[in-house]
Structure 1
Amino acid sequence: MDAVLSVLYVVVLVTAGMAGAGLLRARPPAPARRAPVATMVAFALTAVPSLLQLTVAPGLFEALRRDRAAIGDGQLWRLVTSFAVQDGGWPGLIFNLAALAVIGTLAERLWGPARWVCVALAVQVLGNLWGLVVQPVGAGTSLVNYGLAASLAAAALVLAASRPPAVVSLAFALVLLALGDIHGGAALLGGVSGGVFAALDAVTGRKSGGGPPVS
């Protein structure tokens, strides 16, 4: 089952990245790109605590992770801070940082920093609530990664750009959800958010990323 899940994880991210890149290529020419500030900040907030956790401060994991008993006792901050430490060791950290750099940058180019943060926060908090049911103890940046990825796929589907990889990504994400995997819940939340944002942009004629209305 672990091997199957690993394949599903990779396919969801890769095809979502393809869908997002295709959608961005199909948009009208944009002004000079700004640095993906939200992605860079999130990268630092992941890298620094995780490196400390895996080297000199292993206690950070227990202090910041998602823990159903601790959250039930009122430690609600864990719904957010579990983003900053990893339950997959060095391989998990490297994978999550690489995914965040690629998927996060694509999502920020599409949505702009404000919407990026809205999607990421919603997925992190609500995805962890789903995690309290299916994986009561854990941590990692993957919830945000899969939420942002699904937002790209949903936007590509709604805006009729690069639909085949978008369909594959969302279909595999639904398989994860059906299997009771925490990342399936995160993808569902991100997909709904991305679909709503894309539909609003289509109705208003406004280009995602904070750009001017599309003529």
Structure 2
Amino acid sequence: MSVEYDFNDPIFKKVPLYRRLAREHLSIADLKSDRIKWRAVETATHLNIPIRYQIDYLFQSIIGINEDQSPLYGAKHTIEVSFPASFPRETFKARAITNLWHPNIKWEGPTKGRICVNNQNFGRGYDLYWYLLRIGEIIQWKNYLAENIWPYPEDATVAKWVLNYAEPKGLMSIKDKKPVDESNLLEYTPEKEPEKKIIIKEVNRSKIRIKRPPQNGGD
């Protein structure tokens, strides 16, 4: 996807936040992945700078549990990412729109879906591109915290399930580097170009006149 901004536009001087949001947009404009698909769902100004995104993660993860505590799996998970007014001093906000059963994602209550990414100290080079990859690794269970230690699980109920049920059964393990899904988030299969059709037109031979050279001895 080709994205360009004229950073000489007066709007960037008037509202410096828009300059940063435009750069965040540029950071993911060329993100090519079979596993991550993003779209802008809200924009601002005449330049249509995205201020809210929805991201689909296309791989297996846990979306709930059965009565016997066994996990339920799903293959498509949608996250919403927005920016607080004090961004970038205050970091991105991420919320799961679809159900995700994970100790670092709030399962129920008024803040259901809130994702604890724990990226406050990642530095100025940490942009939306890396943020989306980090969320992907959380959903894959490549990155999770279930123990009651800092920065602490977002959902205590799920954390307890992980420690008492899931890890003992070998469903996942941080120590053994065993996630729920091992997909490469940056795996990408380019779309095939449509095959060119060769059109052969029939020729009416009755309308073709062939001029032959004179035969030897002819007039």
Q: Which structure shows the bigger proportion of residues in helix conformation?
A: 1
- Greater length-normalized contact order (CA 8 Å, ≥ 6 residues apart): 1
Name the larger-Rg structure: 2
TM-score normalised by structure 1 residue count: 0.29
TM-score normalised by structure 2 residue count: 0.28
